[in-house]
Amino acid sequence: MSTRLQPIRGTRDLIGADARRHQAVAEVARRIAALYGFEEWITPIFEDTRVFARGLGETSDVVAKEMYTFTDRGGDSLTLRPENTAGVCRALVSNGLTQNLPQKVFYAGPMFRYERPQKGRYRQFHQIGVEVLGAAEPLADAEVIACGWRIIQALGIADGVVLEINTLGDAESREAYRAALLSYFTAHEAALSPDSRVRLHRNPLRILDSKDAGDRRLVAEAPLITDFLTPAARAHYEAVLRHLAVFGVPVRENPRIVRGLDYYSHTAFEFVTDRLGAQGTVMGGGRYNGLVEEMGGPPTPAVGWAAGMERLALLMEAAGRTPPAPRPVAVIPREEAAEAAAIAAAEALRGAGRLAVMEYRGSLKRRMERADRLQARAALLVAADGSCEWKDLDTGEQRPIALAEAIALAPAPTTG
């Protein structure tokens, strides 16, 4: 006997209700992002390792320890994308679009990170995301956030989800803040976790993002960025808050938010919930003004977010928002001689955009049983001369029906 192969740790098969929730997240997000003028980009799942190693900043957790990096047969170092923002910025430059701004990008697809798997945290997971490339205005920050909030609302999971927002200021604000953090955490170095002791000298801001309980106690007393903002940085932040009020997005300011990657400046935000245990961040993003330049393009201000599709899907499940399984019409020939007429009827239904399934074999009785198991809405019994009967499988009622009426009664597929 051959070995029964299992999925790789931290990966999942999405089947049935899991797949329907996943699809709904993608479809709803794609539809709403399109309303805001975002167009989908589909970039490669693997890239030159330098796209991430430079783009995401050497001190981020992702680059330091979570990447799937390998050497291919040609000797090149490749990395499975841990996120899509760096790939989108690389694509902006590779495709010569840096003079054609702004670009408003939507994406959806798998990402890969080598981390400890748990509920809502996987090694292959999926993100939806949007980016506005080439806009420095606070309105871009606010509109990107509003679009994310509309998606969360449209998925029916807004209850208990809160937008937390902060500013990381401009380079000057952050430099002053970094110095203040360095002296604060250096004074408490012995109490820091080993990871954070490393962060202290590479990028003390990253300590603010630590999940270690001891670190979190120190972080609670650490200096706040808000006390180090330049007037320009403060003005940007206040404009974002003002626009968000117009968009009607409820906001909770949280001066502790720094975000996991190194490239952010100004606005940083997360949509969080307490309904997913430790994996409480469903959507995160902010402004990043140096990333396109890192990819060899001109300085290009940008803002965006990414959301974990699995976490959105978990919230849908908890909110009873799982899309129902489709209910087709089961098309059943009354006898072997009716098979051609049944095929024609099924194709007529499908041609009109209706769900029709056919069994490949079995007696009339077996096919009716199968229709029940499929939760078909109805069985369409077709005779050799093309005449039909409709059996409603909810009420059991059966009657002759014209094909046109059957088409009108048959369910259409539901989409997000």
212 binds ligand ATP (CB under 6 A): no
Binding span for ligand ATP by CB under 6 A among 45-53, 132-140, 218-226, 275-283 = 275-283
Stretch that binds ligand ATP, among 163-171, 220-228, 276-284, 316-324 (CB under 6 A): 276-284
Q: Looking at 108, 307, 382, 406, which residue binds ligand ATP (CB under 6 A)?
A: 307
Residue 219 CA: distances (Å) to CA of 206, 209, 226, 398, 411: 11, 9, 15, 69, 55
Dihedral of the alpha carbons of 225, 231, 234, 238, in degrees to the nearest 10? 160
Shortest distance, CB of residue 189 to ligand ATP, whole angstroms?
24
Is residue 55 near ligand ATP by the rule CB under 6 A? no
**Quick one: which of 63, 249, 258, 282 contacts ligand ATP (CB under 6 A)?**
282
* Burial label, 193 (beta-carbon count in 10 A; 0-12, 13-18, 19+): middle
272 lies in the binding site for ligand ATP (CB under 6 A): no
Q: Tell the smallest beta-carbon distance from residue 230 to ligand ATP (Å).
A: 26
Stretch of residues binding ligand ATP (CB under 6 A), selected from 22-30, 301-309, 365-373, 386-394: 301-309
Site membership for ligand ATP, residue 308 (CB under 6 A)? yes
Interface with ligand ATP, residue 281, by CB under 6 A: yes
Nearest approach, Cβ of residue 357 and ligand ATP (Å) = 34
Taken in order 195, 196, 202, 206, the sign of the CA dihedral is positive
Phi, psi of 180 (to 5 degrees): -65, -40
Closer CB to ligand ATP, residue 102 or residue 110? 110
- 173 vs 210, beta carbon nearer ligand ATP: 210
The backbone torsions φ and ψ at residue 350, rounded to the nearest 5 degrees and listed phi first, read -65, -40
Does residue 269 bind ligand ATP (CB under 6 A)?
no
Burial (CB count within 10 angstroms: exposed 0-12, middle 13-18, buried 19+), residue 329: buried
Q: Restricting to residues 60-119, which ones interact with ligand ATP according to CB under 6 A? A: 83, 113, 115
Which residues partner with 131 through β-bridges?
105, 304
* Rounded Cα gap, residues 213 and 216, in angstroms: 5
* Single-letter code of the amino acid located at 330: A
Which SS3 state, helix, strand or coil, does residue 380 take? strand
Beta strands in 13-112 (DSSP E): 39-40, 46-48, 68-71, 77-80, 103-112
- Determine if 127 is a binding residue for ligand ATP (CB under 6 A): yes
Instruction: Return d(Cα 175, Cα 257) in angstroms, integer.
Output: 17
Q: Least Å distance between CB 57 and ligand ATP?
A: 12
CB of 207 to ligand ATP, least distance (A): 14
Could you tell me which of 90, 83, 134, 91 has the C-alpha nearest to residue 109? 83
State in angstroms the smallest separation of the CB of 95 from ligand ATP.
24
Q: Which is nearer to ligand ATP, 138 or 308 (CB)?
A: 308
Q: Give the single-character DSSP code of 379.
A: E
Q: Which is nearer to ligand ATP, 147 or 346 (CB)?
A: 147
The verdict on 306 binding ligand ATP (CB under 6 A) reads: yes
Contact 70, 78 (CB under 8 A): yes
Please give the order of strands across the beta sheet that includes 77-80.
Answer: 46-48, 77-80, 68-71
The residues binding ligand ATP (CB under 6 A) are 83, 113, 115, 120-122, 125, 127, 260, 279, 281-284, 306-308, 310-311
